[in-house]
């Protein structure tokens, strides 16, 4: 298995361009199943999770061509030949769950393995299922599979008991072809959900209220295949700003929507970093006076849980006390043990982490436990004294395109060692 070797201490500088958003691309690729014909998607990042979702839609009957050097994915949809998604695909990636909405909408059945828990928490799917039920689907759990059936989906009024990115997207994909009007309350407002909505609108769906708590959808009979370009990845953009922060470097992150990372840039300014923004770029530079701060992860536009682990690495280097309250996932502190091994002074009390800034981190062999925990270790490695060896880097391959190449271009001493330690 490949590893990263990072010799820390280099101040990063220069420009980095952000790839397409993984968490927008995943539902959009699946939503292409809603129309017969050829969909062309641009700005699709070349990531493991993207390859998994491509395998999933091919299993259902789509044919695809992925031009990874151009980040373009062509998807041809004719007959949907399968309504089931096997356990193997689901256990590789939970987002495979997104096939449920389109399958129910198009062929009235979906047999999808019930996802188990994952490294960051239990992650139930009850909100998705209750939404499908509200639209008339009958749902049974048999032998570890969820079997959903709906002769025809009917528009419904449904209030989600909790804000969920996945449930908002999944139910929206089901509702666009349902008969009548669907009103969804307590919706996720994440840019990824809005991007999916914009894609569906371009296909001919009738949706209003995207980016608000209430989304209304008037079902249509048919959608058309279109060409569409995915938004930039705000979590990748944020991770690079944090790489600038932790190395006290000067970085310009290009092809980003600054409003998508407002909670992060506000926090970095509170700490004392200097931020400049343009229409599609954000620059970070250091300052002499840095001080600890407090964040709480929340649904968009709050501070994203996906940047909680990466910012914790930065907090380990900020003088004073920093506090993180994680409210989205119950087990999203798996990076803490590894950061402590690198010298981080971190105390956990339930869902609260208290991080005391230390003078310097020191390199150690560490292991990624999930995608964003992995990013936090890479950031720590960039700042630590000595050579950090990071194992299980397949986690970061799931969500960061060309991570080591992009960091090298900013001056980082990071090497991907092929076939390194498991
Ligand atoms: C999406 O996951 C992202 N994944 C996650 O990114 C991200 O961390 C998360 O949203 C929160 O922003 C994708 O977009 C593919 P949720 P999702 O449904 O949709 C609970 C990454 O690193 N919940 O918004 O699964 C759930 O357990 C990944 O890129 C239920 O209780 O998240 C959580 O506590 C990791 N029942 C909360 O809601 C449900 O039916 C929010 O989860 C659904 C969710």
| pLDDT tens digit sequence for 353-371 | 999 999 999 999 999 999 9
The one catalytic residue among 118, 220, 409, 417: 118
54 and 181 both lie in a single domain: yes
The average pLDDT across 271-288 equals 97
Confidence bin at 96 (pLDDT 50/70/90) = confident
296 and 340 both lie in a single domain: yes
* Residue ranges around ligand 1 (CB below 6 Å): 23, 26, 95, 121, 123-128, 162, 164-167, 188, 192, 305-306, 328-329, 371-372, 399
**Res 207: pLDDT:** 98
Confidence bin at 233 (pLDDT 50/70/90) = very high
In the reported structure, the alpha carbon of residue 355 is separated from the centroid of ligand 1 by a whole-number distance in angstroms of: 25
**Res 419: pLDDT:** 85
**Domain at 317, CATH number:** 3.65.10.10
**Residue 87 counted as domain residue:** yes
Say if residue 117's pLDDT is above 60: no
279 and 349 both lie in a single domain: yes
281 and 323 both lie in a single domain: yes
Instruction: Give the residue, 89 or 204, on which the prediction is more confident.
Output: 204
Say if residue 118's pLDDT is above 70: no
**Total number of domains constituting the chain:** 2
Rg of the Cα trace of the chain? Answer: 21
**Cross-strand pairs, 239:** none
91 and 238 both lie in a single domain: no
**Measured between alpha carbons, how far is 238 from 282 in angstroms, rounded to an integer?**
10
285 and 185 both lie in a single domain: no
**Residue 422 counted as domain residue:** no
Q: Which of 190, 207, 229 is the last residue of a domain?
A: 229
262 and 218 both lie in a single domain: no
Q: Which of 197, 229, 261 is the last residue of a domain?
A: 229
**Residue 330 counted as domain residue:** yes
In the reported structure, the alpha carbon of residue 329 is separated from the centroid of ligand 1 by a whole-number distance in angstroms of: 8
Residue 187 catalytic? no
**Residue 370 counted as domain residue:** yes
Residue 108 lies in domain: 22-229
10 Å Cβ neighbour count for 117?
A: 12
Say if residue 53's pLDDT is above 80: yes
9 and 29 both lie in a single domain: no
The average pLDDT across 44-71 equals 96
178 and 139 both lie in a single domain: yes
Nearest C-alpha to atom 39 of ligand 1 is from which residue?
Answer: 125
Task: Check if the beta carbon of residue 37 is closer than 8 Å to that of residue 179.
Answer: no
**Res 144: pLDDT:** 84
Proportion of the chain above pLDDT 70, given as a percent: 98
**Residue 410 counted as domain residue:** yes
Say if residue 115's pLDDT is above 80: no
Q: Which of 195, 229, 263 is the last residue of a domain?
A: 229
394 and 356 both lie in a single domain: yes
Report the 3 state secondary structure along the chain. CCEEEEECCCCCEEEEECCECHHHHHHHHHHHHHCCEEEEEECCCCCHHHHHHHHHHHHHCCEEEEECCCCEEEEEECCCCCCEECHHHHHHCHHHHHHHHHHHHHHCEEEEECCCCECCECCCCHHHHHHHHHCCCEEEEECCEEEEECCCCECCEEECCCCCHHHHHHHHHHHCCCECEEEEECCCCCHHHHHHHHHHHHHCCEEECCCCCEEEEECCCCCCCCEEECCECHHHHHHHHHHHHHCCCEEEEECCCHHHHHHHHHHHHHHCCEEEECCCEEEEECCCCCCCCEEEECCCCCECHHHHHHHHHHHCCCCCEEEEECCCCCCCCCCHHHHHHCCCEEEEECCEEEEECCCCCECCEEECCCHHHHHHHHHHHHHCECEEEEECCHHHHCCCCCHHHHHHHCCCEEEEECCCCC
In the reported structure, the alpha carbon of residue 70 is separated from the centroid of ligand 1 by a whole-number distance in angstroms of: 29
Atom of ligand 1 nearest to the CA of 122: 27
Say if residue 120's pLDDT is above 70: no
Q: Tell me the pTM.
A: 0.97
In the reported structure, the alpha carbon of residue 57 is separated from the centroid of ligand 1 by a whole-number distance in angstroms of: 21
Task: Check if the beta carbon of residue 357 is closer than 8 Å to that of residue 316.
Answer: yes
236 and 219 both lie in a single domain: no
81 and 137 both lie in a single domain: yes
* Ligand 1 mutation pick, 47, 123, 146, 376, max ligand atoms within 8 A of CB: 123
Atom of ligand 1 nearest to the CA of 190: 12
Cα three-residue angle 277-8-16, rounded to 5 degrees: 30
């Amino acid at each position: 298995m490949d590893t990263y070797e990072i010799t820390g201490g280099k101040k990063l500088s220069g420009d980095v361009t952000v790839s397409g958003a993984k968490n927008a691309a995943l539902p959009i690729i699946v939503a292409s199943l809603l129309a017969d014909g050829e969909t062309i998607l641009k700005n699709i990042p070349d990531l493991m999770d993207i390859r998994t979702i491509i395998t999933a839609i091919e299993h259902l009957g789509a044919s695809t061509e992925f031009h990874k050097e151009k980040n373009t994915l062509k998807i041809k949809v004719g007959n949907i030949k399968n309504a089931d998604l096997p356990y193997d695909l689901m256990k590789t990636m939970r987002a495979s769950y997104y096939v449920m909405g389109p399958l129910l909408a198009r062929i009235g059945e979906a047999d999808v393995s019930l996802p188990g828990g994952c490294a960051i928490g239990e992650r139930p799917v009850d909100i998705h299922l209750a939404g499908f039920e509200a639209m008339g689907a009958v749902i049974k759990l048999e032998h570890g599979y969820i079997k959903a059936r709906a002769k025809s989906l009917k528009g419904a009024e449904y209030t989600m008991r909790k804000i969920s990115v996945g449930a908002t997207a999944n139910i929206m994909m089901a509702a666009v072809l349902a008969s009548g009007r669907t009103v969804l309350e307590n919706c996720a407002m994440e840019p990824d959900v809005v991007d999916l909505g914009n894609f569906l609108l371009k296909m001919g769906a009738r949706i209003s209220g995207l980016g608000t708590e209430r989304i209304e959808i008037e079902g249509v009979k048919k959608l058309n295949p279109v060409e569409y370009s995915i938004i930039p990845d705000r979590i990748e953009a944020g991770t690079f700003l944090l790489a600038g922060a932790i190395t006290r470097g000067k970085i310009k992150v290009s092809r980003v929507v600054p409003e998508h990372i407002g909670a992060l840039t506000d926090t970095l300014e509170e700490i004392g970093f200097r931020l400049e923004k343009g229409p599609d770029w954000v620059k970070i530079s250091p300052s002499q006076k840095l001080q600890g701060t407090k964040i709480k992860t929340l649904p968009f536009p709050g501070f994203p849980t996906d940047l909680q682990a990466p910012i914790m690495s930065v907090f380990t280097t900020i003088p004073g006390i920093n506090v993180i309250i994680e409210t989205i996932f119950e087990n999203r502190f798996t990076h803490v043990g590894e950061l402590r091994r690198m010298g981080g002074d971190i105390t956990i009390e339930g869902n609260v982490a208290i991080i005391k800034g230390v003078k310097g981190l020191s390199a150690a062999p560490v292991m990624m436990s999930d995608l964003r925990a992995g990013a936090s270790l890479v950031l720590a490695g960039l700042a630590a004294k000595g050579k950090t060896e990071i194992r299980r880097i397949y986690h970061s391959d799931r969500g960061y395109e060309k991570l080591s190449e992009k960091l090298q271009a900013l001056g980082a001493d990071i090497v991907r060692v092929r076939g390194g330690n498991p």
